[in-house]
Structure 1
Amino acid sequence: MEHSHGAHRADDIEDARIKDLTERFRQTLSTKRMNELVSRSVSRASSPAPRDFGTPQPPPSVSDAQLPTYSSLRNIPLVPQAPQDARSLRFKNMLHSLSNMPIRWENPGLLDEALRVVPLEQIYNEAEEESQILQAEAESLGAGKKAAWGYQDCVVRALLRWFKRSFFTWVNNPACSRCYSPTIGVGMAAPLPDEQARGANQVELYKCSVEQCGAYERYPRYNDAFVLLQTRRGRCGEWANCFSMLCRAVGSRVRWVWNAEDHVWTEVYSVHRKRWVHVDACEEAWDKPRLYTEGWGKKLSYCIAFSADGAMDVTRRYVRNVSKHAVERNRAPEAVLLHIMDEIRAMRRSNMSKQDKFRLEGEDMRENRELRSCVISSIAHEVSKLSVEDIMNGRSSRSRADPDTQKALEGRTSGNSEWIRARGEGGRGQPNPQDPRNRQR
């Protein structure tokens, strides 16, 4: 009996000691993490550290070898850091160069010229009709219900339909200008002075497939939205450039979204929904951010949105399932990318009033919450697919359709079938080879 009592007492002492060591360990980690954050702030702002955070001494009963490293704690929260290595500096210079694209659309003369080619009466009549239908649908659901989209959203949706169906033309291989036969790509050529003056930094060279003809066809890749109003043809770079400018012309705030896997598209700010909406003119796609992953089968690394007001890393909007659809982000550390985004925002907003800066900062905060919710909802959906049997048997979750992805399950429609297959964008799960002809420089 005494032996049993002594054993219980020894167990209680051991439990108390383990509990005490655990609490000391938790406090040590917390203090160490806070000291790291303070030291980073000191090095960045050159201000003295608060006196409350002295260097903690480890508990005498716990050796360093017993403490786990938890390297992920170093990134909570993420502190912006200026680029230091050559690779990060190149990435910074590239992003700064890309950020100039939306600035070109702020030219009043360009926007006036754009409005001359847009059938405004048709666009606004369609927008008015759709807006009334959406409002009626909302009222039928009960008092106080909000329409799905506002009037200005309907204007952009009407502009999207007209642009895709009537205005712009997709080009894979330009037809021979002499005999109108198909052509075959033979490489690149240096731009002529006239082509360079109109914004073409690269020219693709094609040869007529008819042996008797054998003519060569030049295809300049124009980056000037004014020139694109005349040519009205191209691939995703030209489509996104021209369409985004037209959205700006009809009064919407726009973004130009660059993707490292060789695609670009548009985002339009919805005042009605108080958020940025994905728009892809090539696909006539509205608010389908999962189109490229669940639909085309692509894996994405960086999706950076540039506007006249700054820049934002919006990858989380387009990559919901990191394990399935993400590619390693290795062009720069995440803290460096955060610094670059802050740098571009500060540069674009330097001459704004305090009121405008405050408004934009509020939008940034809302968008960051939205992007976090994208990740959280994706994790919650994956967890909801688990069953007790799956967990006990070590099986992965059974496939179950996500209602939010049903509208993005189609493959790519712009471009011919051979070109789509070569890029691996015909549907989910296909490989994603890169086609250098469609890179936007």
Structure 2
Amino acid sequence: MEPSHQARRRPGDAVDTDQLANELTERFRQVLSTKRMNELTSRSVQSRSSSPAPRDFGTPQPPAPALPPSYSSLRNIPLVPQAPQDARSLRFKNMLHSLSNMPMRWENPGLLDEALRVIPLEQIYNEAEEESQILQAEAESLGSGKKAAWGYQDCVVRALLRWFKRSFFTWVNNPPCSRCYSPTIGVGMAAPLPDEQARGANQVELYRCSVDQCGAFERYPRYNDAFVLLQTRRGRCGEWANCFSMLCRAVGSRVRWVWNSEDHVWTEVYSVHRKRWVHVDACEEAWDKPRLYTDGWGKKLSYCIAFSVDGAMDVTRRYVRDPAKHAIERNRAPEAVLLHIMDEIRAMRRSNMSKQDKFRLEGEDMRENRELRNQVISSIAHEVSKLSVDDILSGRSSRPPRPDPDTQKALESRTSGNSEWIRQRGEGGRGAPNQQHPRDPTR
């Protein structure tokens, strides 16, 4: 083993002057190199923080306290769920938990059996089979390996949607007078009678006949029970979405009930063929047209929350592609609190599931979050693609936009149905709100 320059010499050892000189030279070089590196470090620290570095090379100095990171560095850190603290957030939480119970009512086997007796199953399945074969033939004509646009179960729901809108359910703004069948005028609200309350009506709208000689009052209970709606077969978007979603569940589809904080509710159906949730609006007979409300109706939305028997999901990004144009401030609770509420409802609904089912649903959640992010990115990319170099240099806003297929579908659906249907719906103009009572909890 070779002796180092730090080895101690015994008094009797002979001194090798050449070796001693080499050891001293090496030690001098190390000291000089360390000094130069410390000086460079000191200058760099002084230029950034104006705090001098320690110059004592013998004893190590404690590190300087770390400065807190700037807000710009925290901008893109994912949100951490936070439990609601203030009264406003707690009210929002309680409301969402109450709304999440709606899909649970459709799991009643007796209700689903009754729904199957109402649906013309032979007609629905024949239409679905025919449409499925047409879509499959179109896909095969495009080349080998092409996938049909929609699967058989999707075609079943599409056929159910057409039957429900055209033959089964009726839109009601002001119910006609039951005595003389004349139009009525809304005069306020009334307390539900015992039999109305027993059938699921928490509120009753009161109307008066417009004919002075009649003057009769008409009660319009707002039923929340899907079983009752199978008999009444009328209502507004709340009743439409409630009954239609239950019928979709009866034919074997996974269903979501989408609540919007402004003035509408609708349905989402899971497509096994496309492995994603599909927007369905029974009132408009709209299938997979999520831009209907923004690009089509010109509305602005803040919250769109989807509830199912498996949990809850904030799907606002699916329906609001351009936040600068179609978004409203979300001020009912901080975003971290909303994330906590979604996780809380999801955990409650999945508490009794097997590990395999939980793992499958978590994979669906991750895939949907990726889909929602991609939709926002695609919308931004589409807006950027409208610009050209000449437009930027000349200061012009943009050249004529290229057609967007999703936007075009939404514009086509804006005036769904005939003029009488549009008048009944209260959607007479672009951006006009639905004529609904502001205290209607079913929207």
What range describes the TM-score normalised by the shorter chain of this pair?
Answer: 0.7 to 0.9
Native 8 Å contact 1:168 1:239 kept in 2: yes
Q: Does 1:271 align with 2:243?
A: no
1:57 aligned residue: 66
2:429 aligned residue: 426
Gaps of 5+ in 2: 1-39, 50-62
Native 8 Å contact 2:129 2:152 kept in 1: yes
Code of the aligned partner of 2:262: E
Code of the aligned partner of 1:202: Q
Native 8 Å contact 1:297 1:425 kept in 2: no
**TM-score where L is the length of structure 2:** 0.82
**TM-score where L is the length of structure 1:** 0.82
Native 8 Å contact 1:124 1:155 kept in 2: yes
Q: Does 1:221 align with 2:222?
A: yes
Output the CA distance in 2 between the equivalents of 1:302 and 1:279: 17
Q: How many percent identity over aligned positions? A: 84
Q: Does 1:231 align with 2:236?
A: no
1:133 aligned residue: 134
Output the CA distance in 2 between the equivalents of 1:294 and 1:162: 26
1:37 aligned residue: none
1:319 aligned residue: 320
Distance 1:440-1:120 versus aligned 2 partners, 3 A rule: same
**What's the CA shift for 1:264?**
0.3
Native 8 Å contact 1:254 1:307 kept in 2: yes
Output the CA distance in 1 between the equivalents of 2:428 and 2:48: 53
Task: Give 1 or 2 for the bigger CA radius of gyration.
Answer: 2
Code of the aligned partner of 1:406: Q
**What's the CA shift for 1:156?**
0.3
2:410 aligned residue: 408
Structure 1, residues 311-350: CA drift from partner, whole Å, max 9, x if none? 0000000000010000000000000000000000000000
**What's the CA shift for 1:413?**
4.2
Output the CA distance in 2 between the equivalents of 1:411 and 1:157: 19
Output the CA distance in 1 between the equivalents of 2:377 and 2:396: 23
Query: For 1:186, what is the secondary structure of its paired residue?
Result: strand
Output the CA distance in 1 between the equivalents of 2:423 and 2:410: 21
**What's the CA shift for 1:436?**
2.7
Q: CA RMSD in A?
A: 2.6
Native 8 Å contact 2:176 2:184 kept in 1: yes
Output the CA distance in 1 between the equivalents of 2:230 and 2:388: 55
Q: Does 1:356 align with 2:357?
A: yes
Q: How does 1:149-298 map to 2 (within 5 A)?
A: 149-298=150-299
Query: For 2:156, what is the secondary structure of its paired residue?
Result: helix
Gaps of 5+ in 1: 1-15, 26-53, 59-63
Query: For 1:364, what is the secondary structure of its paired residue?
Result: helix
Structure 1, residues 399-418: CA drift from partner, whole Å, max 9, x if none? 41322211110425478555
Higher helix share: 1
**What's the CA shift for 1:187?**
1.0
**What's the CA shift for 1:434?**
7.3
Distance 1:274-1:254 versus aligned 2 partners, 3 A rule: same
Query: For 2:284, what is the secondary structure of its paired residue?
Result: coil
Structure 1, residues 101-133: CA drift from partner, whole Å, max 9, x if none? 000000001000100000000000000000000
Query: For 2:129, what is the secondary structure of its paired residue?
Result: helix
**What's the CA shift for 1:144?**
1.0
1:61 aligned residue: none
1:96 aligned residue: 97
Distance 1:431-1:175 versus aligned 2 partners, 3 A rule: closer
Distance 1:420-1:391 versus aligned 2 partners, 3 A rule: farther
**What's the CA shift for 1:245?**
0.2
Code of the aligned partner of 2:220: Y
4+ residue stretches of structure 1 with deviation over 6 A? none
Query: For 2:293, what is the secondary structure of its paired residue?
Result: helix
